[in-house]
Amino acid sequence: MSEFELEFKRNLFMKTLVSTMLHMALIDGVYLDSERDYIESVINAYPEYQGQIYHAIDDFYQSQIKEEYISDLLRDCRKYLETRELKELVKHSFKVLAIDGKVSQDEKFLIKSYLLAFGLPSNYFDKFMEKIGDDNSISPELKS
């Protein structure tokens, strides 16, 4: 793989990581400090990509139709990224989803759409969803 291709994949991963976490955090209409703190901790783990990360944040907020913007990113990810990278993206979205201890229908729909777009099995996180239960609250062990 050429250096150009490698850099393209890294940038796509970072842009999608930031955008999907922000999208998940904002989908229920409330952006909690704990969600922001988690997102910051994830992006701070990539100090060499801070410039791209802040550019990705700007791109996300400036996009007029968030769902279309995210959809385009997810389609590119499926085409260019490895399954382990896709699972990493979904894992962080699930962690953002779990922070407030409740899961809205919008959040459930959104995470299922991420799985579908990535070509991951829809039951990939069934065990996680089962632990949520019918009352849409998340058990404490899942929030850690």
- CATH code, domain with 38: 1.10.3680
Domain assignment of residue 83, given as a range: 3-143
Predicted confidence (pLDDT) at residue 132 exceeds the cutoff of 60: no
How far CA 3 is from CA of 10, 36, 98, in Å, comes to 10, 32, 36
Query: Are the C-beta atoms of residues 9 and 77 closer than 8 Å to each other?
Result: no
Predicted confidence (pLDDT) at residue 108 exceeds the cutoff of 90: no
> pTM of the entire structure?
0.84
**How many domains in the chain?**
1
Task: Report the distance separating Cα 37 and Cα 39, nearest Å.
Answer: 6
pLDDT at 129: 65
Query: Are the C-beta atoms of residues 62 and 44 closer than 8 Å to each other?
Result: no
